[in-house]
């Protein structure tokens, strides 16, 4: 029997966490294999739209991810403690060697040491002969010892921990995305929009309130994390703020996904009933909700990564995020073009930076003469019946989860004759300079911190779209009917 849509994923998550964390400590290598296998299986059931299994594997990924992060934290904490102990002992010996080297009796001390060790431990004598020679000559610097002390944590070991942590966060991020798509699809297939269409104003007002509340609560949690960094408080406070952000996202995502699915059914009903203006207004809300969902999942991934990288490994990425906070504002505006109706595009000057919106209805993928992947989409304004073509470079829109019937909002340059559209008129979707935006906004820095696992602005495109339902299709299918396509086609984790 397929699980009821009201099943609480939080309880499933903690059951998995409790079960996994009670197991005997696993090696990092075994945990790495467990998560890798779980990610592959999750991709398979998502691809096939087996929703009962998507729920199960998504919850398992969350449990595995948290358990594995716990193992890595303990490993990093133990390593740090052991390394510090080694450094302390090494420093004691270094000072002792330096004191002997300054002593007028150093030659006698070295001679006696050699004599004793040649009888008791010839191997040890061989290993420290270079040190004895330095003492004998009265030198107080011992480069080989200093090198060993300063390089206790090898770059190779750090890279191994970073790779393991990346896979753990991938499990958490994909598990949460899987839950989102589970709740969306089960709600979409079971909801009858008929009565809601008759009460459109009330339903639209309710969805708008849900959207605004979730935007506000996410922003508040992001600000709390920012404040804990800016105020240079104890590391534990930063970690707790990151955990608060994680918990918030996990709390809101199931019900928010279900609300978007129900509202999409209403929007489709409006279109079918010929109410183009109403469906367009409602579609704009859905595009904002789709973006907020991606931002929430990215915040979840970034915050989970921070709990390890700030508290244990202290990675260079974490250092940059912490040190830059005092130099930038929390947020900045994202550039958008002049708001333009599709029916007015023909009267727009070539090269104008515009913002347009509409429902996606036709997709085409191709290559430019120089080999660039070009994704094209036709969008429809249902109130006027006007259509327009748009192009995006280096991205496959259906593989990013942009579906037929999705409502798109985009900013880009209008071309009366676009090379990317085979000479036709249309929009070349703008590519955001996220590096420049991040130089002015810590919130953008936080969202970019999640890019090894999820890109909020896919390939930096100034494009926003509503989540769509997911149906099974062969990977080479031309149908854009897979809202969870990003879980199928995107890599589990990008190196960082």
DSSP per-residue letters across 234-282: -HHHHHHHHHHHHHHHHHHHHHHHHHHHHHHHHHHHHHHTT-HHHHHHH
Token readout for 179 is 């839950």
Among residues 164, 185, 206, the one where a domain terminates is 185
Our CA angle for 379, 382, 386, nearest 5°, is 60
Give me the helices (H) in 105-154, please. 106-120, 122-136, 143-150
495 lies in a domain?
Answer: no
Among residues 129, 163, 185, the one where a domain terminates is 185
pTM: 0.80
Distance CA 476, CA 88 (A): 60
Among residues 149, 166, 185, the one where a domain terminates is 185
Range of the domain at 364: 338-433+454-489
Q: Does residue 69 contact residue 300 with C-beta atoms inside 8 Å?
A: no
CATH number at residue 385: 2.40.50.140
Same domain for 283 and 385, yes or no, is no
Among left, alpha and beta (phi > 0; psi -120 to 50; other), residue 198 is alpha
Rounded to the nearest 5 percent, the helix, strand and coil shares of the chain are 65, 10, 25
Same domain for 274 and 391, yes or no, is no
Same domain for 313 and 359, yes or no, is no
Same domain for 89 and 175, yes or no, is yes
Same domain for 443 and 483, yes or no, is no
- Pairing verdict, β 426-429 and 407-415: antiparallel
Same domain for 314 and 208, yes or no, is yes
Give the SS3 label for residue 48.
coil
Cross-strand partners of 373: 367
496 lies in a domain?
Answer: no
Count structural domains, the chain. Answer: 3
pLDDT tens sequence for the chain (496 residues): 333 443 343 333 333 444 334 433 445 555 677 888 899 999 999 999 999 999 999 999 999 999 888 877 776 655 444 444 444 555 566 667 777 778 888 888 888 888 888 887 888 788 778 778 878 888 766 544 444 444 444 444 555 667 788 889 999 999 999 999 999 999 999 998 887 888 888 999 999 999 999 999 999 999 999 999 988 667 888 899 999 999 999 999 999 999 999 999 999 989 888 888 999 999 999 999 999 999 999 999 999 999 888 865 556 788 788 888 888 999 999 999 999 999 999 999 999 999 999 999 999 999 988 888 999 999 999 999 999 999 999 999 999 999 999 999 999 999 999 999 999 999 999 999 999 999 999 999 999 999 999 999 999 999 999 999 999 999 888 889 999 999 999 999 886 4
494 lies in a domain?
Answer: no
Closest C-alpha to 248, from 176, 321, 187: 176
Same domain for 27 and 175, yes or no, is yes
* Residues 6+ positions from 35 with CB-CB distance below 8 Å: 61, 64, 65, 68, 167, 168, 170, 171
Same domain for 370 and 312, yes or no, is no
Same domain for 263 and 346, yes or no, is no
């Amino acid at each position: 029997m397929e699980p009821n849509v009201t099943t609480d994923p939080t309880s499933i998550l903690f059951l998995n966490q409790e079960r996994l964390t009670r197991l005997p400590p696993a090696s990092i290598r075994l945990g790495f294999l467990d998560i890798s296998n779980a990610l592959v299986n999750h991709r398979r059931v998502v691809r096939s739209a087996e929703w009962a299994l998507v729920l199960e594997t998504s919850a398992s990924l969350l449990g595995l991810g948290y358990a594995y992060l716990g193992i890595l934290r303990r490993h990093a904490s133990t390593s740090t403690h052991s390394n510090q102990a080694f450094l302390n002992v090494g420093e004691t010996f270094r000072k002792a060697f330096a004191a002997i080297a300054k002593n007028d009796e150093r030659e006698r001390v070295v001679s006696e040491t050699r004599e004793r060790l040649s009888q008791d431990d010839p191997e040890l004598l061989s290993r420290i002969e270079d040190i004895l020679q330095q003492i004998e000559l009265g030198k107080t610097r011992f480069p080989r010892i200093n090198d060993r002390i300063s390089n206790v944590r090898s770059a190779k070991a750090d890279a191994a921990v970073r790779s393991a942590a990346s896979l753990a966060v991938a499990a958490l991020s994909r598990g949460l995305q899987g839950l989102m798509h589970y709740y969306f699809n089960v709600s979409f297939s079971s909801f009858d929009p008929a009565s809601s269409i008759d009460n459109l104003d009330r339903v639209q007002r309710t969805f708008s309130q849900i959207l605004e509340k979730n935007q506000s609560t996410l922003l508040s949690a992001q600000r709390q994390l920012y404040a804990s960094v800016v105020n240079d408080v104890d590391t534990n406070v930063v970690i707790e703020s990151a955990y608060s952000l994680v918990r918030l996202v996990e709390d809101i995502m199931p019900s928010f996904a279900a609300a978007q699915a129900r509202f999409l059914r209403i929007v489709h009903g409006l279109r079918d009933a010929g109410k183009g203006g109403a469906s367009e207004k409602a579609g704009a809300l859905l595009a904002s909700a789709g973006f907020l969902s991606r931002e929430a999942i990215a915040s979840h991934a970034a915050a989970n990564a921070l709990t390890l990288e700030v508290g244990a490994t202290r990675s260079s990425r974490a250092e940059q995020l912490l040190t830059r906070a005092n130099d930038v504002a929390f947020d900045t505006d994202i550039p958008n073009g002049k708001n333009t109706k599709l029916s007015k595009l023909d009267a727009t000057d070539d090269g104008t930076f515009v913002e347009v919106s509409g429902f996606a209805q036709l997709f085409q993928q191709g290559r430019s003469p120089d080999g660039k992947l070009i994704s094209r989409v036709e969008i429809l304004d249902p109130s006027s019946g006007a259509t327009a073509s748009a192009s995006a470079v280096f991205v496959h829109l259906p593989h990013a989860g942009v579906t037929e019937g999705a409502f798109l909002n985009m900013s880009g340059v209008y071309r009366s004759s676009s090379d990317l559209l085979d000479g036709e008129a249309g929009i070349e979707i703008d590519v955001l300079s996220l590096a420049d935006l991040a130089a002015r906004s810590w919130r953008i820095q936080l969202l970019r911190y999640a890019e090894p696992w999820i890109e909020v602005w896919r390939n930096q495109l100034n494009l926003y779209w509503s989540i769509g339902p997911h149906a099974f299709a062969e990977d080479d299918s031309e149908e854009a009917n897979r809202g969870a396509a990003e879980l199928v086609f995107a890599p589990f984790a990008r190196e960082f």
